[in-house]
Amino acid sequence: MTKIKSLALLSPLILALTACKDGMHDMGHSRFEQRTFASNGERIYFTGTSSTSNQVISVSGGHHHMRMHGGGCVTCHGENREGGAIMWPWFWETAPALTRDSLLGDHQDDGHTHAVYDVESLKLAITDGINPAGEPLNDLMPRWQMAEQDLQDLVEFLLSGKDHTH
């Protein structure tokens, strides 16, 4: 077999392995488990684990990298909630920002036509994948099953606008 044919056969494998090296894999639970968090909501965002129960929060659906490597919202939405992570292998899809401004601000300039989030609509987005207009979010968004107090804590963290301090 020629070198060119060998390389052509190995290209899909090389691409797959390269995709597994994207920055998202560094965002799993273990990267943040030694940090101190200011709130249970912040811990859930970074680790997908509740301070209350010390258990990993159950999830269904969502992006396969997050499911494979664990973690919380940070896996796709980033440490500063800026979004932008590429949802491999759907490289045209990126995670939206979850900053206070992006959740509560005007959505007309970003292509979204739904109203801004509030506490209840954000809870629905997290647990049921529904936006404030009642439309489904992208299937890459996991549906989290958590206790009401954990959900309230996460929503308070997201709406607080506070950045993580180490």
- pLDDT, residue 65, reads 67
Q: What is the pTM of this model?
A: 0.76
The type of residue at 117 is: Y
- Between 32 and 10, the higher pLDDT residue: 32
- pLDDT, residue 15, reads 45
Please report, for residues 71, 80, 84, 107, 151, the alpha-carbon distance to residue 77 in angstroms, rounded to integers and kept in the order given.
Answer: 11, 8, 7, 18, 17
Q: Can you say whether the dihedral through the CA atoms of 105, 109, 112, 113 is positive or negative?
A: positive
Residue with tokens 């060998």: 6
Q: For 85-144, what is each residue's pLDDT tens digit?
A: 887 777 788 889 999 999 998 655 555 566 899 999 999 999 999 999 999 999 889 999
- Between 107 and 157, the higher pLDDT residue: 157
Mean pLDDT of 39-49: 95
SS3 145: strand
